[in-house]
Structure 1
Amino acid sequence: MPSTTHHRLIAVIVLVPALAALALWAFTWPAARTAPRDLPLGVAGPPAATAQLEKRLEGHGGAFEIHRYADEAAARGAVEDRTVYGAVVVTPRGPELLTASAAGPAVAQFLQQAVARQASAEGAQVKTVDVVAAPAGDPRGAALGAAVLPLALAGIAAGAVVTLLGLRGVRAVIALLGAAALVGVVAAGIAHSRLGVLTGDWWAEAAALGLSALAVSGAVAGLAALLGTAGIGIAGAVVMFLGNPFSGAATAPEMLPEPAGAIGQWLPPGAGATLLRSVSYFDGAAATGPALTLAWWAALGLGAVLLGGSLRARKAGGAPTADRRELATVG
């Protein structure tokens, strides 16, 4: 058996288990370590009462990042603006918890349990108000969380197809833009019009979905334009093994172990999920950050596609010239 065959056999035997281990770690580690870490939580009410409440919340071992508000109206506005995931308001009638299940049903449930447990220990009952409720079509947020993987796969497929079909430069950019636009329209049609799991402005949702797909497809095609077909595997692996499990779409970035949550928000799947929540449930509140992240991924990817096409064109144009010079020298 030739040595090359031996090397390929060893590569398969070693790489397949390594990839399986990487995938298993990437998907199970965040799930196994899900817990709040500096979760933004508001506190509102009289200073004397809130001081005691803050002290008790700080006893949760860094679970919460406390934001102070003068009254219930200010705390409610912070929840609606996505500054905090919830707020505890101290009132003469007892504590009141403001939540936003649309920002993450798992987070809202955790806040209810944590605040209710603390209140019951003091002999009080907590009134819970869901300020921004999850849609009736997706009360547990499962559909939005499940949308991350198909969008990532669509982006990887678009970038790979453009590369394998040999599209270069401007043609490749046009193909990627067109594919992303269609993905956004189709996805909005299914998630909003058909299933009712998205409830915001239809075109804003389609734009967010399309931009998410473009960020991935641009990265895949751009890296492939610079590195060859190996770029498809590298970009695809980053999106699938880091972007998808670190997205925090099923819970929240602050519920993931550090630094997974932060990394996930810098990658297209996490930024896309956050942007989609903002435009669908919060009228675009806190949408600027994730939109810029996706725009940078898309711009860098498309720029790399154009650069790769230009380099290939120069290389192809320079080869005949070199050949002619060699022939002239021989002559």
Structure 2
Amino acid sequence: MQTPLAGNQSWRRVAIMAVALPLVISLAVMAYAWPAARIAPRDLPVGIVGTSTASQGAVQGLAHSEPGGFDFRLYPDEASARSGIRERDVYGAFVVTPGSLTVLESTAASPTVAQLLGKAGQQLAAHASKAAADRAASAAHGTSARSKRGKAGAEKPARIRVGTVDVVQTSADDPRGVVFSSALLPLTICSIMIALVLAMSLRLRPVSRLMALIVMSGAAALGVYVVAQGFLGALPHDHLATWASLALTVFAISATTAGAVALVGSAGLGLSAVLMVFVGNPFSGSTSAPELLPKAVDDIGQWLPPGAGASLVRGTAYFNGNDSAGHIAVLTLWSVLGLAAVLFGHRASPVAKGPVANEGATADTEGTEGSANDVATPHVPSAEESSHSPARIDVHAHAHARHAAGA
């Protein structure tokens, strides 16, 4: 029968869950929805070709339309601007001449940024055309009273032509980069599941657990690559380097999770899930670009394994590994910290606490005297011990007393 105290505790737990679970769900939705709702260029690196008056006008126009949105890099010619895009120094560039404007973009770097630069190019061309028309009209108005050629001067100048060149294209099988961005969330979840499986396999020694992490991370990365590239064609270049990038990403996440479990027990699994899934994924910028997210979100996301891993895989799959050193360093740092926690941590998951105790008892009692089984076996007194025990002596004393009384 349930006591009133136990019933009160049950209702208290239900009340706590009724408040805590909606709060957690709300925070999770906020973590994903808020960065997506604040997408805008913030110090987005773009190139400007040349230092002519037209180029300077383009810089002024972009700075006026998006204050603080662009970080301009000057290039002497179009070839150097294309090289800057391939090396991931800039997301794109504007080549401005008196009669035309060419937008150099890269859908492989970010389809969202490529679309943004295309719209910016159209706005620049419209603004430049309007400014040229205003200047021509002013000049014509000043000369029309003195020359019959004023009508010719009043002719509207030709509209600036706008062209777009995709320097580094995304895969033809994944033109919008949907497959690439969609693979990140399950990759993170599966990495945490690897750590969970190893945390439940507590018969493994720390070194064996480390080897298992390496093998399982490589195998999981191979499976992801087979699906993403073999079936869907979303990772078209540098196959070995791309697989290694996936493996390092999986390893960094799973090693960090396993280390957290080794240090603080099952609570480490929840902490890692929150950090990697509900912070790392939405803050990674994989669906848009890190520079389109709020500044603090960008900084946090690129210092977490999901963000660094997404940037690294994009670099190896499309840009020959350019600008990958920083991302490799972040993933390596998380991996080393996780491995150190796995090797030196001693906390066990409560899910498998029983097997640990049984395993330890078995290991301690094998081949030794005075084992736990021997201690637990009840002692049966011998016949000699029983004859001299206080209980037997007391029984005999009472028997002699009754015999004397009867006599």
TM superposition score normalised by structure 1? 0.91
Distance 1:232 1:116 in 2: 49
Q: Please, which of 6, 13, 31 is the counterpart of residue 8 of structure 1?
A: 13
The structural deviation recorded for 1:48 is: 3.1
Query: For 1:239, what is the secondary structure of its paired residue?
Result: helix
Whole-angstrom distance in 1 between the partners of 2:224 and 2:99 = 46
Structure 2 residue aligned with 1:57, among 58, 62, 68? 62
> Helix, strand or coil: the match of 2:277?
helix
1:251 aligns with 2:288: yes
Q: Is 2:137 aligned against 1:132?
A: no
Q: Is the CA contact (8 Å cut-off) linking 2:112 and 2:288 kept in structure 1?
A: yes
Give the Cα–Cα distance (whole angstroms) in 1 for the partners of residues 332 and 255 of structure 2.
10
Q: Please show how residues 279-290 of structure 1 align to structure 2 within 5 Å.
A: 279-290=316-327
Counterpart for residue 230 of structure 2: 193
- Counterpart of 1:122 (choices 108, 115, 128) is 128
Task: Spell out, residue by residue over 1:208-244, the C-alpha distance to the aligned partner (whole angstroms, 9 max, x if none).
Answer: 1111111110111000000001100001111111001
Tell me how far apart the structure 2 counterparts of residues 148 and 125 of structure 1 sit (CA, whole Å).
Answer: 39
1:46 maps to which residue? 51
Conserved in 2, the CA contact under 8 Å of 1:101 and 1:134?
yes
2:134 alignment partner in structure 1: none
Following the alignment from structure 1 to structure 2, what is the Cα–Cα distance between the partners of residues 278 and 139? 17
Secondary structure at the residue paired with 1:303? Answer: helix
Q: 1:45 to 1:125 in 2, by over 3 A?
A: same
Match of 2:345, SS state, is helix
Residue type of the partner of 1:5? S
Higher RCO (CA < 8 A, seq sep 6+): 1
Within the alignment, does 1:19 sit opposite 2:24 as a pair? yes
1:260 aligns with 2:297: yes
Counterpart Cα distance in 2 of 1:9 and 1:134? 50
Unaligned runs of 5+ in 1: 325-331
Report whether the alignment pairs 1:204 with 2:245: no
Following superposition of structure 1 onto structure 2, how do residues 60-139 of structure 1 map, counting pairs within 5 Å?
A: 60-123=66-129, 124-139=160-175
Q: Is there any run of 5+ residues in structure 2 with no aligned partner, and where?
A: 130-159, 350-355, 365-369, 371-407
Aligned CA distance change for structure 1 residues 6 and 218 (closer, same or farther; 3 Å): same
Question: Is 2:160 the partner of 1:154?
Answer: no
TM-score relative to the length of structure 2: 0.74
2: CA distance, partners of 1:249 / 1:82: 15
Contact 1:152 1:239 in 2 (8 A): yes
Partner of 2:266: 229
| Mean CA deviation greater in 20-29 or 115-124 | 115-124
Correspondences of 1:161-172 after superposition (within 5 Å)? 161-166=197-202, 167-172=204-209
Q: How far apart are the structure 2 equivalents of 1:188 and 1:279?
A: 13
Kindly state the Cα deviation for residue 309 of structure 1 after the two structures are TM-superposed. Answer: 4.3
Over the residues paired in the alignment, what is the CA RMSD in angstroms? 2.1
8 Å CA contact 1:86–1:111 kept in 2: the answer is: yes
Contact 1:116 1:125 in 2 (8 A): no
Question: What secondary structure sits across from 1:40 in the alignment?
Answer: strand
2:127 & 2:207 partners in 1: Cα distance? 65
* 1:115 CA drift (Å): 1.4
SS in 2 for 1:186: helix
Query: Residue type matched to 1:71 in 2?
Result: D
| Aligned amino acid, residue 86 of structure 1 | G
Tell me which of 263, 276, 294 is aligned to 1:239.
Answer: 276
Aligned to 2:253: 216
CA distance in structure 1 between the partners assigned to 2:216 and 2:123 by the alignment? 50
| Equivalent pair of 2:62/2:120 in contact (CA under 8 Å) | no
CA deviations over 1:169-195 (Å, ceiling 9, x no partner): 112111111110001111111112221
